[in-house]
Homo-oligomer: A and B are copies of this chain.
């Protein structure tokens, strides 16, 4: 069912011939990349889902060329799996990969904490406080809002280091964590304990690098145990059926 396929938000007609102030003609390839990235992170595209080039291109109003380019980049970031001659899927990390991601993330964010300890400007400090207050508010009605906010807290911290590479890696790891929690996480345990965020800010402001690092480490560790313990949606049918077989005295080959 080929729907109208509106040509993506990008590059509006622009009434006057002049460039409208700071209007860099951003390549649409990047727009496609961002769109897919968001769709995956927000789980509009679910883990493991097939990603056919032309239907996606149709939906976004671009040709397969651009979609392919986006796939390539997303594959580097581990958000899509690219199988030769068999197309692309939203990545479906194994439990092992999940552990790897969390381990690396812990290392990275520990670095963030160490970097930031004793270097927060009053403005940054205030921004973090405000953010935590938002988290608390959202935590009460426990919507998806809560999840998004706790994620953003960590991104904000990474931004404040001023280290672009560190930010990129933290973002990447975070994205993959979203995927992972979508697969293996409990329904909606809002992943981060707000109180732990508070303590962390405290340590950062006090300039206690070691304590900040330890808090961060522990914080992320507990995210794993809190949210990641129960593998729900199995990837392989065999995993789903195994317990049934056992209870019936059958032995899977």
Contact = CB atoms under 8 A, between A and B. Distances in A.
B166 A100 contact: yes
Contacts of A78: 165
**Chain copies in complex:** 2
A112 to B, nearest CB: 9
Interface of A is mostly: helix
Nearest to A115: B103
B104 A24 contact: no
A27 B84 CA distance: 7
B97 A164 contact: yes
Interface in A57-84: 65, 68-69, 72-73, 76-78, 84
Contact-size category for A: 20 to 34
30 contacts: A25-B84, A26-B84, A27-B84, A27-B85, A29-B72, A65-B65, A68-B69, A69-B69, A69-B72, A72-B72, A72-B73, A73-B73, A76-B76, A97-B164, A97-B165, A100-B163, A100-B166, A103-B111, A103-B163, A103-B166, A104-B108, A104-B165, A104-B169, A107-B107, A107-B110, A107-B111, A107-B166, A108-B108, A165-B173, A169-B169
Interface of A: 24-27, 29, 65, 68-69, 72-73, 76-78, 84-85, 97, 100-101, 103-104, 107-108, 110-111, 115, 163-166, 169, 173
